[in-house]
Amino acid sequence: MFDQGTQIQRGTICVEDLEIGMSRSVMKTITQRHIELFAELSTDHNPVHLDEAYAQDTIFGGVIAHGMLTAGLISAVIGEQLPGHGTVYLGQTLKFLAPVRPGDTVEATVTVREIDHSRRRVTLDCRAEVGDTTVLKGEALVLAPSNKFD
Ligand SMILES: C[C@@H](O)CC(=O)SCCNC(=O)CCNC(=O)[C@H](O)C(C)(C)COP(=O)(O)OP(=O)(O)OC[C@H]1O[C@@H](n2cnc3c(N)ncnc32)[C@H](O)[C@@H]1OP(=O)(O)O
Protein backbone atom coordinates (compact mmCIF):
# COMPACT_ATOMS: atom_id res chain seq x y z
CA MET A 1 0.00 0.00 0.00
CA PHE A 2 1.36 3.50 -0.86
CA ASP A 3 0.80 6.64 1.26
CA GLN A 4 -0.31 9.81 -0.58
CA GLY A 5 2.40 12.49 -0.63
CA THR A 6 5.16 10.33 0.78
CA GLN A 7 7.04 7.64 -1.10
CA ILE A 8 6.66 4.69 1.27
CA GLN A 9 5.49 1.12 0.87
CA ARG A 10 3.77 -0.29 3.93
CA GLY A 11 4.06 -3.81 5.27
CA THR A 12 5.43 -6.03 7.98
CA ILE A 13 8.46 -8.31 7.92
CA CYS A 14 8.36 -10.69 10.89
CA VAL A 15 11.59 -11.45 12.74
CA GLU A 16 11.61 -14.95 11.24
CA ASP A 17 11.88 -13.42 7.74
CA LEU A 18 14.38 -10.64 8.50
CA GLU A 19 17.91 -10.95 7.10
CA ILE A 20 21.10 -9.01 7.76
CA GLY A 21 21.51 -6.29 5.12
CA MET A 22 17.80 -5.91 4.36
CA SER A 23 17.10 -2.24 3.75
CA ARG A 24 14.04 0.01 3.31
CA SER A 25 13.66 3.75 2.83
CA VAL A 26 11.23 6.63 2.59
CA MET A 27 11.55 9.94 0.74
CA LYS A 28 9.84 13.11 1.90
CA THR A 29 10.18 16.74 0.88
CA ILE A 30 10.22 18.86 4.05
CA THR A 31 8.30 22.14 3.81
CA GLN A 32 8.11 25.15 6.12
CA ARG A 33 4.55 24.02 6.90
CA HIS A 34 5.87 20.65 8.15
CA ILE A 35 8.37 22.52 10.36
CA GLU A 36 5.58 24.73 11.75
CA LEU A 37 3.39 21.69 12.43
CA PHE A 38 6.26 19.92 14.18
CA ALA A 39 6.92 23.03 16.31
CA GLU A 40 3.27 23.05 17.33
CA LEU A 41 3.18 19.33 18.14
CA SER A 42 6.49 19.17 19.97
CA THR A 43 6.19 22.67 21.53
CA ASP A 44 9.77 23.35 20.29
CA HIS A 45 9.48 26.88 18.88
CA ASN A 46 13.23 27.47 18.58
CA PRO A 47 13.42 30.49 16.19
CA VAL A 48 16.12 28.80 14.13
CA HIS A 49 13.22 26.79 12.67
CA LEU A 50 10.55 29.49 12.43
CA ASP A 51 12.07 32.97 12.14
CA GLU A 52 13.99 33.57 8.91
CA ALA A 53 15.50 36.88 10.11
CA TYR A 54 16.74 35.21 13.30
CA ALA A 55 18.03 32.16 11.42
CA GLN A 56 19.91 34.32 8.89
CA ASP A 57 22.24 35.36 11.72
CA THR A 58 23.06 31.76 12.76
CA ILE A 59 25.68 29.39 11.35
CA PHE A 60 22.94 27.99 9.11
CA GLY A 61 22.15 31.29 7.32
CA GLY A 62 18.43 30.47 7.19
CA VAL A 63 15.75 28.35 8.78
CA ILE A 64 16.32 24.61 9.20
CA ALA A 65 14.15 21.66 10.20
CA HIS A 66 14.10 20.28 13.73
CA GLY A 67 16.51 17.36 13.98
CA MET A 68 13.75 15.27 15.51
CA LEU A 69 11.51 15.92 12.50
CA THR A 70 14.14 14.30 10.28
CA ALA A 71 14.53 11.53 12.85
CA GLY A 72 10.77 10.96 12.60
CA LEU A 73 11.32 9.68 9.07
CA ILE A 74 13.52 6.92 10.53
CA SER A 75 10.65 6.00 12.84
CA ALA A 76 8.33 5.94 9.82
CA VAL A 77 10.53 3.42 7.98
CA ILE A 78 10.78 1.23 11.09
CA GLY A 79 7.06 1.39 11.92
CA GLU A 80 5.76 1.05 8.38
CA GLN A 81 8.28 -1.15 6.60
CA LEU A 82 11.27 -2.65 8.43
CA PRO A 83 10.21 -4.53 10.44
CA GLY A 84 6.88 -2.64 10.05
CA HIS A 85 3.55 -2.74 11.85
CA GLY A 86 3.78 -4.24 15.34
CA THR A 87 7.39 -3.14 15.90
CA VAL A 88 8.23 -1.72 19.34
CA TYR A 89 10.95 0.96 19.49
CA LEU A 90 13.43 0.17 22.31
CA GLY A 91 16.22 2.68 21.65
CA GLN A 92 17.76 5.05 19.15
CA THR A 93 21.05 6.96 18.79
CA LEU A 94 21.25 9.97 16.47
CA LYS A 95 23.93 12.27 15.07
CA PHE A 96 22.77 15.32 13.13
CA LEU A 97 25.56 15.93 10.64
CA ALA A 98 24.14 18.57 8.29
CA PRO A 99 21.05 20.78 8.27
CA VAL A 100 17.77 20.02 6.49
CA ARG A 101 16.20 23.12 4.92
CA PRO A 102 12.62 23.73 3.72
CA GLY A 103 12.33 22.29 0.22
CA ASP A 104 14.93 19.56 0.84
CA THR A 105 13.95 16.03 -0.09
CA VAL A 106 15.16 13.69 2.64
CA GLU A 107 15.72 9.98 1.98
CA ALA A 108 15.69 8.04 5.27
CA THR A 109 17.10 4.51 5.10
CA VAL A 110 17.15 1.72 7.66
CA THR A 111 19.31 -1.42 7.28
CA VAL A 112 19.29 -4.57 9.41
CA ARG A 113 22.66 -4.99 11.17
CA GLU A 114 22.01 -7.67 13.86
CA ILE A 115 19.17 -10.05 14.74
CA ASP A 116 18.77 -11.75 18.12
CA HIS A 117 16.13 -14.31 17.20
CA SER A 118 15.72 -15.66 20.74
CA ARG A 119 14.73 -12.21 22.10
CA ARG A 120 13.28 -10.78 18.84
CA ARG A 121 15.72 -7.84 19.21
CA VAL A 122 16.88 -6.24 15.95
CA THR A 123 19.63 -3.63 15.59
CA LEU A 124 19.21 -1.29 12.63
CA ASP A 125 21.67 1.15 11.02
CA CYS A 126 19.85 4.42 10.29
CA ARG A 127 20.78 7.16 7.87
CA ALA A 128 19.12 10.16 6.24
CA GLU A 129 20.44 11.90 3.15
CA VAL A 130 19.66 15.03 1.16
CA GLY A 131 21.13 14.31 -2.25
CA ASP A 132 24.73 13.19 -1.61
CA THR A 133 24.86 14.72 1.88
CA THR A 134 24.33 12.54 4.95
CA VAL A 135 22.27 14.67 7.34
CA LEU A 136 21.67 12.04 10.07
CA LYS A 137 23.27 8.81 11.21
CA GLY A 138 22.31 6.53 14.08
CA GLU A 139 21.37 3.12 15.37
CA ALA A 140 17.98 1.77 16.44
CA LEU A 141 17.11 -1.19 18.67
CA VAL A 142 13.62 -2.64 18.18
CA LEU A 143 11.46 -5.53 19.26
CA ALA A 144 10.30 -7.08 15.99
CA PRO A 145 6.88 -8.65 15.36
CA SER A 146 6.78 -12.43 15.12
CA ASN A 147 4.58 -14.71 13.04
CA LYS A 148 4.31 -16.91 16.16
CA PHE A 149 2.01 -14.29 17.73
CA ASP A 150 -0.45 -13.80 14.82
C1 LIG B 1 16.78 21.57 19.64
C2 LIG B 1 16.25 21.97 18.28
O3 LIG B 1 15.35 23.05 18.41
C4 LIG B 1 17.40 22.41 17.44
C5 LIG B 1 17.56 21.53 16.27
O6 LIG B 1 16.87 20.60 16.05
S7 LIG B 1 18.81 22.00 15.19
C8 LIG B 1 18.56 20.88 13.84
C9 LIG B 1 19.31 19.61 13.98
N10 LIG B 1 20.73 19.80 13.90
C11 LIG B 1 21.33 20.13 12.76
O12 LIG B 1 20.73 20.31 11.73
C13 LIG B 1 22.84 20.23 12.84
C14 LIG B 1 23.43 19.55 11.65
N15 LIG B 1 24.87 19.53 11.80
C16 LIG B 1 25.67 20.43 11.22
O17 LIG B 1 25.20 21.30 10.50
C18 LIG B 1 27.13 20.28 11.48
O19 LIG B 1 27.39 19.08 12.14
C20 LIG B 1 27.67 21.42 12.38
C21 LIG B 1 27.52 22.77 11.68
C22 LIG B 1 26.95 21.45 13.72
C23 LIG B 1 29.16 21.14 12.64
O24 LIG B 1 29.79 21.14 11.39
P25 LIG B 1 31.30 21.51 11.30
O26 LIG B 1 31.67 22.61 12.20
O27 LIG B 1 31.60 21.63 9.84
O28 LIG B 1 31.95 20.25 11.88
P29 LIG B 1 32.77 19.24 11.05
O30 LIG B 1 31.91 18.64 9.99
O31 LIG B 1 34.03 19.94 10.62
O32 LIG B 1 33.11 18.15 12.11
C33 LIG B 1 34.00 18.45 13.15
C34 LIG B 1 34.03 17.24 14.06
O35 LIG B 1 32.79 17.14 14.75
C36 LIG B 1 32.16 15.93 14.38
N37 LIG B 1 30.74 16.20 14.26
C38 LIG B 1 30.16 17.11 13.47
N39 LIG B 1 28.85 17.09 13.63
C40 LIG B 1 28.60 16.14 14.56
C41 LIG B 1 27.45 15.64 15.16
N42 LIG B 1 26.26 16.11 14.84
N43 LIG B 1 27.55 14.68 16.07
C44 LIG B 1 28.74 14.18 16.41
N45 LIG B 1 29.91 14.61 15.89
C46 LIG B 1 29.81 15.57 14.97
C47 LIG B 1 32.77 15.51 13.07
O48 LIG B 1 32.68 14.12 12.90
C49 LIG B 1 34.18 15.95 13.27
O50 LIG B 1 34.87 15.02 14.08
P51 LIG B 1 36.40 14.68 13.78
O52 LIG B 1 36.75 13.71 14.85
O53 LIG B 1 37.12 15.99 13.87
O54 LIG B 1 36.38 14.12 12.39
Domain-located, residue 41: yes
Cβ(117) – ligand 1 distance below 6 Å? no
User: Please, are residues 92 and 74 in contact by the beta-carbon 8 Å criterion?
Assistant: yes
The 10 Å CB-count burial string (b at 16+, else e) for 12-26 is bbbbeebeeebebbb
Beta bridge partners of 111: 23, 125
Dihedral sign, CA of 44, 50, 56, 59? positive
Domain-located, residue 32: yes
Domain-located, residue 89: yes
Predicted confidence at residue 85, as pLDDT, reads 95
Cβ(46) – ligand 1 distance below 6 Å? yes
CATH number, domain with residue 96: 3.10.129.10
**What's the domain count of the chain?**
1
Among candidate residues 125, 150, 144, the one with its CA nearest the CA of residue 13: 144
User: Please, are residues 134 and 128 in contact by the beta-carbon 8 Å criterion?
Assistant: yes
Pocket test for ligand 1, best of 96, 101, 127, 135 (most atoms within 8 A of CB): 96
Predicted confidence at residue 148, as pLDDT, reads 82
User: Please, are residues 84 and 13 in contact by the beta-carbon 8 Å criterion?
Assistant: yes
Q: Lowest-confidence range among 3-12, 73-82, 109-118?
A: 3-12
| ipTM computed for the complex | 0.85
Residue 124: which domain range? Answer: 2-143
Domain-located, residue 10: yes
Domain-located, residue 148: no
Reported as a pLDDT band with limits 50, 70 and 90, residue 143 is very high
Cβ(93) – ligand 1 distance below 6 Å? no
Distance of CA 30 to CAs 15, 33, 79, 109, 149, Å?
A: 32, 8, 19, 16, 37
Can the peptide bond before residue 83 be classed as cis, meaning omega within 30 degrees of 0?
yes
Domain-located, residue 29: yes
Among candidate residues 62, 136, 138, 80, the one with its CA nearest the CA of residue 106: 136
Domain-located, residue 149: no
Reported as a pLDDT band with limits 50, 70 and 90, residue 130 is very high
* Average pLDDT value for residue range 57-64: 98
User: Please, are residues 100 and 34 in contact by the beta-carbon 8 Å criterion?
Assistant: no
Domain-located, residue 150: no
Say whether pLDDT at 5 is over 80: no
